[in-house]
Amino acid sequence: MFSDGRHKPSVLIYLGLVLCIMWVGVAGVGCQTDGTEANRRRTQTFSSGEKSVDSIHLFTSALLFDLDGKPGPDGFSALVYAVHNGIAKPVKITNGTLEIMLYDGNATPVQSLNPRQVWSYSKTDLPRYLSQTSIGFSYNFTLKIDKSKPLPSNVSIGAKYISPDKDAVFAKTVSIAIEP
């Protein structure tokens, strides 16, 4: 049949190809689910419902920036995520109060009693700052600093969620150096 010196493919090569195709088919089918358990979890993940807030995460701009057009920085942006431990994505804050605090210098436990400035948002104020992304719900703020007294060389920013029961959940503070 092959008069030019080529050899016929052996039976072992055909058997190897068949086994590879079968393995790919079995492995692909083995990774599928019937969808009932997966759909139940997906519904829970995207619905924040009336869940409590177990922790909050604060992200800020790396530098203070100018909001009023006058020389010197006087504002910053803050992004807050509220987390409920039973839900994979950040949730909406449906009750309680969210506070963002500004401290002179690096915040210490003693300073946390006396912030330089506090912005407070109740459950009725928060929807104005709410946004939803692929990773969940977040609250995005652009905040103007009261410069009635001079700013130090660095500031710290913190966030606190206060539940209706008056339990407080704190985010880790973020320090920002102020450019001259």
pLDDT band at 90 (very low <50, low <70, confident <90, very high): very high
Instruction: Encode pLDDT of 13-58 as tens digits.
Output: 766 666 666 655 555 544 444 444 444 433 333 344 455 899 999 9
Instruction: Encode pLDDT of 94-148 as tens digits.
Output: 999 999 999 998 877 666 678 999 999 999 999 999 999 899 999 999 999 998 8
- d(Cα 14, Cα 23) in Å, to the nearest integer? 14
The pTM for the full model equals 0.69
Cα angle for residues 103, 104, 105 (degrees, 5° grid):
110
